[in-house]
Structure 1
Amino acid sequence: MAAENINKLLQKHQQEFAVVVDFNPSTGKIIRLNFTASNTALTAEIVNDTQLFSEYIESLLAKNSAKYGVGGYMEERTVYARSEHFNTEEGEPRRLHLGVDIWGTANTKVYAFMDAKVHSFAFNDNFGDYGATIILEHCLDENTFYSLYGHLSLKSLEGLNSGKIIKKGTAFCEFGIAKENGQWPPHLHFQLMNDMEGKEGDYPGVAKISEKELWMQKIPDANLVLNWKY
């Protein structure tokens, strides 16, 4: 099923979804974080140092009295230059972010937005990679799709098995610290996929900009689950 059709299903059922992280839009605040080339304040020195990068995000959240920083769906980002993980043999590096990032504090709880079962999980332990990762399988109006949760704590993987049922609203994982989440400031990479294409415990979260139209057909908009204004 094409991403466009999954998007329509998500819009149809939007008011039924549980929160992904604890947040009340009527009382809390979120801000959009910009990791494109237009953000000249985000220097290479900051991006290449995980501690400085973390302090940069923490300061933005504090300055704006925001609980989370959000954004990134189909965003063309410069930050991936920090890791060889995003280079390719074909020459064009991967710079197109496919999911939505929620930046906050380590150990922030993450909830299942609808009933699911565990598809797969892994510790993708490369610099710049997802680190601890969980992928859930969902069925909505008899249509199957998947959600990916990256940059988690290693504790989140304990006690999991493929096929495990996770009920809507259940806290099933949490944001990880740098040594567990691929050496990033604490955040959740939240992404939807039409099809896992045979992959387990991993799925691309960053792609080539030249292939954007292809990925738009494969990756539904996770903002439709969050239903936040930012």
Structure 2
Amino acid sequence: MIGRVVDFDPAADRLYDFDFTSKNKELNETILSDTDRFSNWVGSKLADNHCRYGIGGYSEHRTIYARSVHFDSAEEPRRLHLGVDIWGPSGTPVYNFYDAEVHSFKFNDNFGDYGATIILKYQLEGLTFHALYGHLNLASLDGLEEGQFVPAGLQIAVFGAKEENGYWPPHLHFQLIRDMQGLKGDYPGVCQYSKRAEYLENCPDPEFILKHTFKRS
């Protein structure tokens, strides 16, 4: 049985759908250039709408990545998001949704990067795939070993603070990956728009996992 990724009570908790595309005119350079200001903006949206978490982003063409040179390249910047973000307070627990093993882990310590990252490998209904958990606290990497068994339901991490999550407002980047393509501890969470077809094929929509957390039909 597929379990939760974060705590959520469908009878009491609500989700706020964030839009980080160019349609969102509130998000200006003043907000995005300062992580604390950006965090306060996210927090105010959740509080004003009485929501426990914000969510969204799969296959979203985002303008917010212009805040970091990490997403720039000579030929075309990376702007298409390949996972789902769950926004909430620093320290929010993160759980393993199904029996897995540790594929790899790493502290991706660049401005705008994942920060502390765990990648787990799953066998589910005859399918083999990976889940990347990004923007975690550094302590979540302590004691991990590649190949280590991780039981379903185990708390594996919490949302990291800015100093350990790549200097973002606290959130979880949750991404499914079919083929890791030889990478360890890291995999692109944002791609160039011209390469969207190949990346979206390798990184399917996590909705079929997350619907068990948020009880969406």
Pairwise TM-score range, normalised by the shorter structure: over 0.9
C-alpha distance in structure 1 between counterparts of 2:112 and 2:155, whole Å: 25
Corresponding position: 1:53 with 2:62 = no
What pairs up with 1:71-220 in 2 under 5 angstroms?
A: 71-89=56-74, 91-220=75-204
C-alpha distance in structure 2 between counterparts of 1:117 and 1:219, whole Å: 19
Ranges of 4+ aligned residues in structure 1 off by more than 3 Å: none
Instruction: Report the equivalent of 2:21.
Output: 36
Instruction: Normalising by structure 2, report the TM-score.
Output: 0.96
Does the residue aligned with 2:78 lie in a helix, a strand or coil? Answer: coil
Amino acid aligned to 2:80? L
Instruction: Report the equivalent of 1:17.
Output: 2
C-alpha distance in structure 2 between counterparts of 1:18 and 1:143, whole Å: 17
C-alpha distance in structure 2 between counterparts of 1:186 and 1:104, whole Å: 6
Q: Provide Cα deviations, 1:151-178, integer angstroms capped at 9, x if missing partner.
A: 0000110111101111111101110000
Q: Provide Cα deviations, 1:78-112, integer angstroms capped at 9, x if missing partner.
A: 000000000113x2100000000000001111001
- Give the percent of matched residue pairs that are identical in Structure 1 and Structure 2: 52
More divergent stretch after superposition (214-223 vs 51-60): 214-223
Amino acid aligned to 1:33? F
C-alpha distance in structure 2 between counterparts of 1:216 and 1:153, whole Å: 27
Instruction: Report the equivalent of 1:13.
Output: none
Amino acid aligned to 1:43? N
The count of residues paired between Structure 1 and Structure 2 equals 214
Gaps of 5+ in 2: none
Q: Provide Cα deviations, 1:35-66, integer angstroms capped at 9, x if missing partner.
A: 00000011111011101100000000000110
C-alpha distance in structure 2 between counterparts of 1:142 and 1:62, whole Å: 41
**CA RMSD across the alignment:** 1.1
